Each structure stands twice: as structure tokens, then as C-alpha cells.
Amino acid sequence: MKVSYHGHSVVLIETEGTRIIVDPFLTGNGQTDLKEEELKVDVILLTHGHNDHVGDTVAIAKRNDALVIAPFELATYLSWQGVRTHPMHIGGAHQFDFGKVKLTQAFHGSSYTVEEEQKIVYTGMPAGILFSAEGKTIFHAGDTALFSDMKLIGERNAIDLAFLPIGDNFTMGPEDASTAAEWLQAKKVVPIHYNTFPVIEQDPVEFTENLSGKKGLYLSIGDEIEF
């Protein structure tokens, strides 16, 4: 399995035969190295409905005939736009042919803003994602505050790689994310959701260096790991 980081909360997972992207916010994202019109994926995983996470989902999904996996309300909203979806909800898991997906809780909001209409569309509960394939488990926390059930997630899942937001203001900051890293017991922890906007500027290198047990892993834009 190959995993790469592409700015904000964008993560690309490559299993044997399947390319999966999480929260593909590309257009308007000055931190990414990916271009919507060039991206080739089979599956899109969405944590919640905010515009900086849904991003280019509709365009990517239609061009690639990619399956979009998202919380029920968000999946429904996207299906009305002609996208092929698989709805899920928090606590539920499903075994796909490319791996197992389970949604966890996340403490945040979830809505899609249609700016030209000054309209906010409710898109259900936000979520984190546990993805398991080829004997490995990845946890993408989505946008979330620190919550004590992260201990339970860590106890019940052998997490190889966790992606945690550190930007503060909208999500956990570095201090709370450090606690989350301890509770999740992940072997490696990668910071996400920082520096895209001035209000979430953070030092990801300092965060990873301060994590105990040498579990911190800083990935710059486009960096890839294989395991």
C-alpha cells in the first residue's frame, strides 16, 4: 500500500488495483500539488460536507466514474448531482472489494455552502474514516475536536497510520492533537489541516518532533510512504 499527502486534508491511498482519495479539495487549495483535471482515482472518501473537503468531488467522480463513499446525507446530496455513491453512517462498516471502510464519530460541523445563492445545505454528521486493506489500517480523523472515545478507537483498532488535524480554530490544535495521538496508539501520526488559511497556520515539523515514541511523521506536499 502507498499513501501520500497532498495538502490540507487531501490523502491519496493506492492499494493493489485501486486508487482512493480522501477529501479532494484541489481547486482553490494553494497547498496542493494535484490538479482536478489530471487526477485518476477509483474511489473518493469524504469525511464531511464542508467545501474545503468535498472540494472537486463531483467533477472528479463524473470524469472517473469513481464511487463516492460518504455519510448518508452528504452522499444523498451528491447523488442528486449525478454522482455514484455509497452512503454510510457513524459506527457502520462495509467491506468493499478494495478494503474495509468504517466511519467513526468526529466533533465538528457538516454543511455545504452554495455561495452564489447564500445557501447552506445540511449534510449530516461529520465523520472520521478507518480504512483497512492489505493487512494495514489507516485512520483519517477528518475535522474534529479532541474527544475521549479516541481511546476506544485506539484500543479496538491496530492503527498503522493516523492523519490528525492540527490547525486549531476549526479543529484540534497541536496540543489536543498530541493527546489524540497518544490515545489512538497509532504507529505513525501525520499532521493535516494546517497552513491552508492564515487562521490555521501551524508548525507541522515541531508537532511531529514533539510526539512521544518517535511516532510523528511529517509529510511535505506530495510525499509518499509505502508499507
The C-alpha atoms of residue 79 and residue 84 are separated, in whole angstroms, by 6
**pTM for the predicted model, two decimal places:** 0.98
What per-residue string of b and e applies to 124-157 under the rule 16 or more CB within 10 Å gives b? Answer: bbbbbbbbbbeebbbbbbbbbebbeebeebbeeb
**Share above pLDDT 90 across residues of the chain, in percent, rounded to a whole number:** 98
Q: What is the mean pLDDT of residues 127-138?
A: 98
Give the CA diameter of the chain. 49
The CATH fold of domain 2-218: Metallo-beta-lactamase; Chain A (3.60.15)
Residues 37-42 have a mean pLDDT of 98
How many percent of the chain have pLDDT more than 70? 100
Statement: residue 172 has pLDDT above 90:
yes
What are 89-122's pLDDT values in tens digits? 999 999 999 999 999 999 999 999 999 999 999 9
Is 112 within 8 Å of 49 (Cβ atoms)? yes
What average pLDDT is seen over the chain?
A: 98
User: What are the boundaries of each domain within the chain?
Assistant: 2-218
Vertex 48 angle, CA 40 and 143, to 5°? 105
130 pLDDT exceeds 90?
Answer: yes
DSSP one-letter code for 30? T
pLDDT digits (tens, 9 = 90+) for 202-223: 999 999 999 998 999 999 999 9
- Asked whether residue 187 carries a pLDDT value surpassing 90, the answer given is yes
- d(C-alpha 19, C-alpha 163), whole Å: 18
What distance in Å separates the CA atoms of residue 65 and residue 78, rounded to the nearest whole number? 13
What does the chain come to in residues?
227
- The conformational region for residue 22 under phi > 0 = left, psi -120 to 50 = alpha, else beta, is beta
pLDDT for 227: 87
pLDDT over threshold 90, residue 129: yes
User: pLDDT band for position 134 (50/70/90)?
Assistant: very high
The reported pLDDT for the residue numbered 77 is 98
Q: How far apart are CA 156 and CA 143, in angstroms?
A: 21
